[in-house]
Structure 1
């Protein structure tokens, strides 16, 4: 809220503008600049700084946010605070790019029993080995309603997804639902090997 209308009322009442500005801790220059419709010194400085901010932002290909823009401006000798830079960046509608925080999907269980590696880490395609080696994987998809988790069963020989299931959680049920889906889609023999998702703890 600006106090300039109050000072204007005091001026019309014959009171001292200087005294009113001192009491309200407002710049007399800014008051008269606003009254005349001309931008004050601070507004002029903000406009010039905004131009510098936009130039730095463009040079960074739109990746820099307030902290990096402020650091570059300080290196170039600009006299400005970080909060002021952040305010002007918001006012100009500029925004830096942020790395999406890594979402942890599976947590290894240190107490889980070790299982023998029956595929011997051999994930090479093999046209003659269809439906003999399957592996599972879990991924996550960001949606407007939150995270959607996807469990897949992949035929190692063909690299094709042979079964899948989705859920809004990462419980064992998600992986368990993907396996029957694969069994319905493909015919497999009794020697089928299913490699569990790496580091899943399942």
Structure 2
């Protein structure tokens, strides 16, 4: 605790500075040096970091907390600790988004047929394995009209949302529409594994028949194990924190419009939000994730899948390569 503000108050009140310094056991020289001196190197550095933190926080639309802001600063070359970032964010009145209380959407069917887990928590990105493994899940959005439910289909290889659907119910038609949208958009040329939880929508006979029609092999995780579908859970955590929980939605149509317009469903995931192991990507993972924006989705003819090659002139890919090999 510093005593200089007390001495300053005594001085403003017309009392003796000498007597106040003697009582507080500090020298008058130190008091006047602090009173009239320039900010120290640490204070100057704190001001610079605060400015950078405010910019990063604003770019994230007010969603990033101290860990993710610290990760961005470290990637930009700003040497600082996470606790220092947390202290400066608190002093500036900044904080990240927090999740609301969870609403139950996974209702298992005890009579459902057994299906194996073909993913086994292997959600590593693979730029050569597009349209080979998908995963999906259902989440909820509260509106003034009632719940709006969102079902997604994500390509594990590229982190792209390749299909999605919304509805005001939790019937099988919701997940069936999402899978149909994914198959019609991507048009895979080989059987695809689709991984989900054991919700009754995904284990129903109707969904199994649709999967057979599209040559999709169904895979399910264990009951009560969210880590078995970690990629889908991570995506929902991000979109809720950065979009769906940022405001109250007056209607289902308003929420649906916001979801349609969000960049997360336009396949423009940043490196920080794209990786399931957030903030701890290795150099090889960054190389694999860096170019999700320019993954080719050109379909020259019906039945031909997307090309896995990337244009050599892609600036994001070149930046990722150069920054990765330049790192120690």
TM bracket (short chain): 0.3 to 0.5
Q: Which has the higher helix share?
A: 2
Q: TM-score with structure 1 length normalisation?
A: 0.48
Q: TM-score with structure 2 length normalisation?
A: 0.30
Indicate the structure (1 or 2) with the bigger Cα radius of gyration.
1
